[in-house]
Amino acid sequence: MTPVYIGLGSNLAEPRQQLEAALAAIARLPGCRLTRVSSFYASDPLGPADQPRYVNAVAALECSLAPLALLDALQAIEQEQGRVRKAERWGPRTLDLDILLFGDLQLDEERLRVPHYHMHARAFVLYPLAEIAADLQLPDGRPLQALLADCPCVGLERLPPATGAAPPTGSA
């Protein structure tokens, strides 16, 4: 089983519920075991400013799937939750699931780049990731803590748990 980290984001159609439904679907994937989930965070959009704020989180898995098989499974979850891929980059979406890290793998293929490109500069990825894996080291040897030091958390807000919601598995 390989340790894998998935970034989750949504800013349409009840974003918090989109992330909760995605986490439930990820937990049901054959060959994968959901082990930790960060808190949910609100973040400003990267693309056009005339869209709602995002809700983001990071999930940790133990996975026996190959990287592209996991990507296919995650994209199927996105589609099941109403994701429509458009030419517009960084536009609003019901759900975005990104493979951030896949063990120590460094992969640069047409469909998948791991570690995820630009994760080193995205507070909405790094801060939730640090919440569940503070001592993580990237495949290139850089410690997560060094990336955090270079990435201010401007526009990032940790959200309180939803009323009646179970605490994230990362908080135990």
| Residue whose entry in the numeric block shows the structure tokens 């309180």 | 160
Tokens of 98: 């990104």
Mark residue 155 as left, alpha or beta (left: phi above 0; alpha: psi -120 to 50; beta: remaining): left
Q: Kindly write down the DSSP assignment for every residue of the chain, as one continuous string.
A: -EEEEEEEEE-SSSHHHHHHHHHHHHHTSTTEEEEEEPPPEEE--SS-SSSPPEEEEEEEEEE-S-HHHHHHHHHHHHHHTT----SSTT---S-EEEEEEETT--EE-SS-EESPTTGGG-HHHHHHHHHH-TT-B-TTS-BHHHHHHTS--TTEEEPPPPTTPPPPGGG-
Known catalytic residues?
A: 83, 93, 96, 98
